[in-house]
Amino acid sequence: MASERQRRAAQRNVRKAIRAARSKKTIAHMPKRTRTALGKQGAAVARRKRTGGTTPKTRQELYEEAKRRNLPGRSKMGRDQLARALGER
């Protein structure tokens, strides 16, 4: 069982951690280009969740489709690149 002094110290530490997280605003310190990309990525995820899209969601599924269509350079592409190349977005 924690003593009163330990509880107060824990609460103080939590408050300090919250203050530190707020003051850092780590996203705000990123380059504008990165912040924009993160926003677009988040919006795309939200859009997919809202619409419940039937398009393949994983890189593996997209890769299999690219393989079926014999898309060049598919092995070096990421999920977003594969989706764009296949016209799935």
- How many domains in the chain? 1
Q: Domain range for residue 7?
A: 1-29
What's the pLDDT tens digit per position in 43-88? Answer: 877 877 787 766 657 888 899 999 999 999 999 999 889 988 988 5
**Helix (H) and strand (E) counts in the chain:** 4, 0
pLDDT at 74: 92
Flag whether 76 is in a domain.
no
What's the pLDDT tens digit per position in 2-14? Answer: 788 888 888 898 8
**Between these two residues, 64 and 89, which has the higher pLDDT value?**
64
Distance separating alpha carbons of residues 74 and 72, to the nearest angstrom: 6
Cβ contact 50:39 at 8 Å:
no
The 3-state DSSP class for residue 53 equals coil
Flag whether 8 is in a domain.
yes
| Most trustworthy range by pLDDT among 10-19, 25-34, 52-61 | 10-19
pLDDT at 56: 59
Question: For the residues 22-30, what does the mean pLDDT come to?
Answer: 78
- Check: pTM over 0.85? Answer yes or no: no
Flag whether 49 is in a domain.
no
CA separation (Å) from 7 to 3, 68, 78? Answer: 6, 60, 47
